[in-house]
């Protein structure tokens, strides 16, 4: 979009001037309601940030569990209210660090976790009854959650005391990221087992964070981000209901995850539209009665894809603007990216500044003094309506294809996002979309930057730890519990109970995931079209 542009990021009309005529058919009672009341356009809680600010999370994890633990302790000391764990690719894909396929990727984009011993190191000295933890893990989400529970139990903290979120959103992996393991049908089975397990064993845990963030990072427009995310949410709810669960028993623990871009007005409108759509879908399609089942609670991360390696200090401004958009849109928790992330893993100084950015917004501005400050804005209310209409249209197209899973199998969402990403790239290359420091206001002189790098010796260290673990554990006990896991996977029993016992016996992530691979197989995507 050009600086003089007449359209939003979603390709919808963006008027130069908005006035009363933009809202002539607008009924505040039905379109807005009160904060904390249906349809939750104005926020999911009556007082929002006037009562307490959002949870300030910082996404971190690299190298070994010990190194990440040191960063977590620094973040907690600097005032972060929640931890957000990044896992390396082998962990995300359910492979051990000494697997051939893991070579060269151990500890690179997150922390390597191979067993409960690594999880114990990761949270050493961190009281799990006081810290809320979000884990960005999908296909093996059940394993990481159970290891977290086991470590909490070792601390004397029961499952009813721990709080946090597992991303656990596998459908978007088929659309935008690719870190899936099993076919969609079996992935949904695993997710509904997690819902059921947590309702009984870890009742305060958010069992899924249905994510539009990764779709947006892949190029989705704001309207696509909302539509495809909520369509995935509908699929998860249907699967849980079909498994015999009552919607009002699991829906209050559903959470969402969105991006926040630099386009403040459209982003605020996006968050408001998403809340309204979800509330209506849950009430009208699923008959949810509990008001908490209707609330779209979400975490936000600032837009990594908008960060530039050129003039990286400009990213500080971008992140502050993106964070402000998330707050004005009513997010429940927020991660602010570090300005150097387009170059390498964030340095300690950059991570601290990212947290300070949130703290300045929370405590030095006045945006926390009133609920939904944009309510009644001609521009924002009109944009909210436009985004809602476009997102609903896309959701209808998904439904016409048979729902989210069927549409994924036909490549619909992936194709739509790739087309949007291609258009963005064309606009940047043509200079029609300004990116400061990249295609306008460039500099020939860049200051040298020494990035934080992961020691390649970590892979050998993890392999050595795994060898020691396999030599010291009771391998017959591990085999017994893995056999029980496979038997549960072949039938209808909840797989998390035998999975927990296998992990307690120090089975590895790769061993547990391989046991399920033997029963469920692996997913092969359709040919791209």
DSSP code, position 251: G
Angstrom distance (rounded) from CA 279 to CA 267: 19
| Structural domains in the chain (count) | 1
User: In the prediction, which pLDDT does 526 show?
Assistant: 73
Task: Please tell me the predicted confidence (pLDDT) of residue 527.
Answer: 61
Residue 487 lies in a domain: no
All residues at 6 or more sequence positions from 453 whose CB lies less than 8 Å from its CB, including other chains: 344, 345
Q: Could you give phi then psi for residue 172, rounded to 5 degrees?
A: -70, -20
Q: How far is CA 36 from CA 151, 278, 281, 333, 447, in A?
A: 35, 14, 17, 17, 48
Q: Strand pairing partners for 132?
A: 82
| CA 144, chain centre distance (Å) | 15
Token pair 């894909």: residue: 93
Please say whether the beta carbons of 333 and 56 come within 8 A. Answer: yes
pLDDT for 108:
86
Q: Give the C-alpha separation, 259 to 116, whole Å.
A: 31
In a domain, 317, yes or no: no
Six token digits for residue 351: 């991570």
Closest CA to 302 of 316, 313, 314, 292: 316
**Helical spans, DSSP H, in 430-472:** 457-472
Q: And the tokens for 65? A: 């569990």
Whether this model's pTM surpasses 0.85: yes
Token couple for 319: 């992140």
For 389, phi then psi, to 5°, come to: -65, -40
pLDDT for the residue numbered 189: 96
Q: Is residue 326 part of a domain?
A: no
For 411, counting Cβ atoms within 10 Å of its Cβ (0-12 exposed, 13-18 middle, 19+ buried), the class is middle
CATH (domain of 285): 3.20.20.240
Q: Is residue 320 part of a domain?
A: no
In a domain, 504, yes or no: no
Q: Are 240 and 282 in contact (CB under 8 A)?
A: no
Q: What are phi and psi of 231, to 5 degrees?
A: -65, -40
Torsion of CA 132, 257, 141, 134, to 10 degrees: -20
First to last CA, the chain: 27
The residue ranges of DSSP E strands in 65-156, in sequence order, are 82-86, 132-136
pLDDT of residue 1: 36
Predicted local distance difference test score (pLDDT) of residue 529: 39
Closest CA to 291 of 32, 40, 55, 28: 40
Domain membership flag for residue 442: no
* Beta strand residue intervals within 77-204, DSSP E: 82-86, 132-136, 164-166
DSSP annotation of 53: P
Nearest C-alpha neighbor of 323 from the set 270, 296, 350, 359: 359
Task: Note the pLDDT of residue 4.
Answer: 46
Q: Kindly state the helix (H) or strand (E) to which residue 335 belongs, with its residue range.
A: strand 333-335
> Which range of residues forms the domain containing residue 115?
20-45+55-303+375-429
Concatenating the DSSP letter of every residue in 26-86 gives --HHHHT--TTSTT-TT-SSSSGGGTSPPEEEEEE--BSHHHHHHHHHHHHHTT-SEEEEE
**Is 393 among the domain residues?**
yes
Peptide bond preceding 7 in cis form (omega within 30 of 0): no
Residue-by-residue pLDDT tens, the chain, 529 positions = 334 458 999 999 999 999 998 888 888 888 899 999 999 999 999 999 999 999 998 766 677 889 889 888 887 888 776 788 989 999 999 999 999 999 999 998 889 999 999 999 999 999 999 888 989 999 999 999 999 999 999 999 999 999 999 999 999 999 998 999 999 999 999 999 999 999 999 999 999 999 999 999 999 999 999 999 999 999 999 999 999 999 999 999 999 999 999 999 999 999 999 999 999 999 999 999 999 999 999 999 999 999 999 999 999 999 999 999 999 999 999 999 999 988 877 888 998 999 999 999 999 999 999 999 999 999 999 999 999 999 999 999 999 999 999 999 999 999 999 999 999 999 999 999 999 999 999 988 777 766 666 778 899 999 999 999 999 999 999 999 999 999 999 999 999 999 999 999 999 999 999 999 999 999 988 764 3
What CA–CA distance (Å, rounded) separates 325 from 353?
Answer: 18
| Structure confidence at residue 263 (pLDDT) | 98
Cα–Cα distance for residue pair 528/85, rounded to 1 Å? 32
CB 82 within 8 A of CB 126: no
- DSSP 8-state code for residue 497: H
473 belongs to a structural domain: no
Instruction: Give one DSSP letter per residue of 291-312, joined into a string.
Output: HHHH---EEEEE-GGG--SSSG
């Amino acid at each position: 979009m050009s600086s003089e542009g007449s359209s939003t990021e979603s390709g919808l009309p963006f008027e130069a001037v908005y006035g009363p005529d933009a809202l002539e058919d607008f009924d505040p009672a039905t379109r807005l309601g009160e904060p904390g009341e249906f349809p939750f356009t104005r926020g999911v809680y009556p007082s929002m940030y006037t009562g307490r600010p959002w949870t300030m999370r910082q996404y971190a994890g690299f190298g070994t569990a010990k190194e990440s633990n040191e960063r977590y302790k620094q973040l907690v000391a600097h005032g972060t209210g929640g931890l957000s764990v990044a896992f390396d690719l082998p962990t995300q894909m359910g492979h051990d660090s000494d697997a051939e396929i893991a070579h060269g990727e151990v500890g690179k984009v997150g922390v390597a976790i191979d067993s409960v011993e690594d999880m114990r190191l990761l949270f050493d000295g961190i009281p799990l009854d006081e810290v809320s933890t979000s884990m960005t893990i999908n296909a093996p989400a059940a394993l990481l959650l159970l290891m977290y529970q086991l470590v909490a139990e070792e601390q004397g903290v029961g499952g009813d005391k721990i709080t946090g979120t597992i991303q656990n959103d596998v459908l978007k992996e088929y659309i935008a990221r690719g870190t899936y393991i099993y076919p969609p049908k079996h992935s949904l089975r695993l997710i509904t087992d997690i819902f059921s397990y947590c309702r009984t064993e870890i009742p305060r845990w958010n069992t899924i964070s249905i994510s539009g963030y990764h779709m947006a990072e892949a190029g989705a427009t704001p309207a696509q981000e909302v539509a495809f995310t909520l369509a995935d949410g509908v699929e998860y709810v249907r699967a849980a209901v079909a498994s015999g669960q009552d919607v009002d028993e699991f829906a209050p623990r559903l959470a969402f995850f969105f991006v926040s871009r630099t386009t403040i007005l459209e982003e605020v409108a996006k968050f408001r539209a998403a809340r309204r759509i979800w509330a209506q879908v849950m009430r009208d399609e699923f008959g949810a009665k509990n008001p908490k089942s209707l609330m779209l609670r979400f975490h936000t991360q600032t837009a990594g894809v908008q960060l530039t390696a050129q003039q990286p200090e400009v990213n500080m401004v971008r992140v502050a603007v993106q964070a402000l958009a998330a707050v004005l849109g009513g997010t429940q928790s927020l991660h602010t990216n570090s300005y150097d992330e387009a170059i390498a893993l964030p340095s300690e100084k950059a991570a601290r500044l990212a947290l300070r950015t949130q703290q300045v917004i929370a405590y030095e501005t006045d945006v926390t003094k009133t609920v939904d400050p944009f309510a009644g804005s001609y521009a924002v209310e009109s944009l909210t309506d436009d985004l809602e209409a476009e997102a609903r249209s896309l959701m209808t197209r998904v439904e016409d294809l048979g729902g989210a899973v069927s549409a994924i199998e036909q490549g619909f969402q992936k194709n739509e996002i790739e087309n949007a990403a291609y258009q963005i790239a064309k606009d940047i290359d043509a200079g029609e979309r300004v990116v400061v420091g990249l295609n306008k206001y460039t500099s020939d002189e860049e200051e040298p930057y020494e990035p934080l790098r992961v020691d390649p010796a970590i892979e050998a260290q993890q392999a050595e730890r795994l060898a020691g673990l396999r030599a010291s554990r009771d391998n017959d006990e591990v085999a017994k519990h893995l056999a029980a896991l496979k038997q549960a996977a072949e039938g209808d029993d909840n797989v998390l109970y035998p999975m927990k016992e296998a992990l307690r016996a120090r089975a590895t992530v790769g061993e547990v995931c391989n046991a399920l691979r033997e029963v469920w197989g692996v997913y092969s995507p359709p040919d791209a079209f």
